[in-house]
Chain A
Amino acid sequence: MTVSTKPRWRAKPRWRFRQPSVLPGFGITFGYTILCLSLVVLIPLGALVVRSSRLGLSGIWEVASDPRVASALKISFGVSLLAALTASVFGFLVAWVLTRYRFPGRRIVDAVVDLPFALPTAVAGIALAQVYAPNGIVGAQLEKIGIKAAYTPLGIFIAMVFIGLPFAVRTVQPLIAEIDKEVEEASATLGASRRATLWKVVLPPLIPAVLTGFALAFARGVGEYGSIIFIAGNLPYVSEIAPLLIVIKLSEYDYAGAAAIATIMLGISFLTLLAINLIQAWSRRRFGYV
């Protein structure tokens, strides 16, 4: 539908903020959006940046290089990387099984994947601690083979896999469903083995989605608090995560320290978001879809 009734809107080559449209309400909805965004997100985040800018870059660096802070950041990022990796591998497997295979109860399994989205983190935390504690169902078995799960970094890992899994599954699943079977058939007809077809034909277009899922699970894992503090043990240098250290710094009236750690984490969030956007842009160029 072209807009010929209002010729003054005909596109001119000069730059304009908004492309013309006959639809009304841009001003009010855009204004309201910006207002809400500013009040809820931008101003409070700005307060954080202002607070930590008083420290200056060197001040932030000083906080970050404090051994306890550094090790908390290392634990948060390191364990989160491992957990996101695990979630991606198993998430891919689950997504594949759910879209490609038929088995009784598949719908229920499919619904269960979203549980970590819907289950509050505190509930997940006490439940995971109960299951993986030395006297819990799984924890007791692990204890027998000499593995301590709860109250060690392994506990952090378990909680992070828990909350990251749905991201890994749900970003890949729709793309697996969309794979054109004919391409696979063509590959098979041309004599490729099933393994070759999977590696060379099926997997490559899924990589961006897997990466996006990985990045989302990672970002979520780094910031996670509720489910982890119940199961981690919270020992400095061993199983203390960065968000907990923020809470501890607050309890110690160390606002500057808390703000500095928060700023570092915020920076990583930005970078992760940026990475996701880059992956998607690359995927759009390379495969024609996100």
Chain B
Amino acid sequence: MTNLRVPRSVATARRMRRLVCTLAFTTLLPAGALAQTELLNVSYDPTRELYRDVNAAFAEEWRAKTGETITVRASHGGSGSQARTVIDGVPADVVTLGIPSDIDAIARISKKINPDWRTKLPNEGLPYTSTVVFLVRKGNPKAVKDWSDLAKADVKVITPNPKTSAGGRWNFLAAWGYAYDREGKDTEKANAFVGQLYKNVPVLDTGARGSTVTFAQRGLGDVLPTWENEAFLVLQEFGADKFDIVVPPTSIYAEPPVALVDANVDAKGTRKQAEAYLQFLYSDKAQAIFAKHRYRPLKREAADPKDLAFLPEVKLFKIEDIQGNWDDIQKRNFDNGGLFDQLSKAGR
């Protein structure tokens, strides 16, 4: 009952209320203030450094050409997780994912991408390709030379979860394709080989980048099968004195495609810019940037020969040649109850 001193607390309350109002008001502003054109490129894990350069180059060229200022934003994560966010409503203008089946999934489930997306751009939507190589610790103490070494009992392999990561799926398919060829096209034996290999995996991260951190920073495992570009990036970031790159005699032709998200660009009115962005990926300038980041450019002549010298000659096989179309590849290996599920169930 002592507390009937009115004025001070009322004044405080009033001040509080005003503060809350101002806060609420100012917070609403920035959302509307971003009127300049923005594109969103939803991409997979290891392209963070690549698209930082590509996006800046595109913005520069676009301004020179049209006078319009454009900001290309990027989001990165496991390719499957990224596709899921687009399905769920991330307003991506373009997707640049790690494996064709993820773009197929967006087209099939959300209908935001034209199912014929492969035909809209040159080379089935592949401005560059890549492959899988091995990153090992300096001096290659476990003498890893080929895929068969990854299934040896004393070798620990770090690879991402094929369910969520495109890199993880390429690793899986590369190992399978290698064994299929070695075992005289025997599917059962190829399955068994991959099962053996995955018994050597102590950590499955959700994206390629997570696996790299596990291998390089946390010091786990003996070999990291990974995107060629990612392996070179590790040498650059962590120092070439810590790791070696081992190129297996055969590997997979990895296809990270790009596509326009039709429904989103039409809703946002950014079709013109988004299409120009995708076309830009096939320009000489972008092709040179791909090579600089150790991706295999479509137009080798546009790249600096010094960059191309880093990309070794490997016998590459296409998984489609063995397993058919991407719907089948995805279903057979990675969907619920697919080969990966069967192997991890059996392998524990």
Touching in the complex, A and B, CB below 8 A?
yes
**Residues in chain A within 8 A of chain B (CB atoms):** 67-68, 71, 129, 133-135, 150-151, 233-238, 240, 247-248, 250-254, 257
For A252, the chain B residues whose CB sits under 8 A away are: 80, 84, 163-164, 336
Report the bound CA distance from A257 to B84 in whole Å.
14
B127 sits at the interface (CB 8 A): no
Contact B220 A253 (CB under 8 A): no
Interface residues on B, range: 20 to 34
Contact A151 B336 (CB under 8 A): no
Contact B201 A248 (CB under 8 A): no
Give the nearest-CB partner of A240 in chain B. B204
Judged by DSSP, the binding face of B is: loop
Judged by DSSP, the binding face of A is: loop
Report the bound CA distance from A135 to B163 in whole Å.
29
Decide: A251 near B219, CB < 8 A? Known: A67-B348, A235-B201, A236-B344.
no
Contact B345 A68 (CB under 8 A): yes
B192 sits at the interface (CB 8 A): no
Contact A150 B218 (CB under 8 A): yes
For B84, the chain A residues whose CB sits under 8 A away are: 250-253
Report the bound CA distance from A251 to B78 in whole Å.
9
Decide: A248 near B105, CB < 8 A? Known: A233-B203, A253-B84.
no
**Residues in chain B within 8 A of chain A (CB atoms):** 78, 80-81, 84, 87, 105, 109, 161, 163-164, 201-206, 214, 217-220, 336, 341, 344-345, 348
Report the bound CA distance from A254 to B87 in whole Å.
12
Select A254's contact among B205, B220, B336, beta carbons within 8 Å.
B336
Across chains A and B, which 9 residue pairs bring their CB atoms closest together, nearest first? A251-B81, A237-B348, A251-B164, A233-B203, A251-B80, A133-B218, A251-B84, A134-B219, A252-B163
Contact A67 B345 (CB under 8 A): yes
For A238, the chain B residues whose CB sits under 8 A away are: 202
Contact B218 A235 (CB under 8 A): no
For A251, the chain B residues whose CB sits under 8 A away are: 78, 80-81, 84, 163-164, 206
For A247, the chain B residues whose CB sits under 8 A away are: 81, 206
Report the bound CA distance from A240 to B205 in whole Å.
10
Decide: A253 near B105, CB < 8 A? Known: A135-B219, A151-B218, A248-B161.
yes
Report the bound CA distance from A67 to B220 in whole Å.
26
Report the bound CA distance from A129 to B218 in whole Å.
9
For B344, the chain A residues whose CB sits under 8 A away are: 68, 236-237
Give the nearest-CB partner of A232 in chain B. B203
For B164, the chain A residues whose CB sits under 8 A away are: 248, 251-252
Report the bound CA distance from A129 to B341 in whole Å.
29
For B205, the chain A residues whose CB sits under 8 A away are: 234
Contact A134 B218 (CB under 8 A): yes
Contact A235 B206 (CB under 8 A): no
Report the bound CA distance from A134 to B220 in whole Å.
8
Contact A253 B163 (CB under 8 A): no
> Which among A134, A235, A238, A257 has the greatest number of chain B C-beta atoms within 10 A?
A235
10 residue pairs of the A-B complex, CB under 8 angstroms, read A68-B341, A134-B218, A150-B218, A151-B203, A151-B220, A234-B161, A234-B203, A237-B344, A248-B164, A252-B80
Give the nearest-CB partner of B88 in chain A. A250
Report the bound CA distance from A254 to B105 in whole Å.
12
For B80, the chain A residues whose CB sits under 8 A away are: 251-252
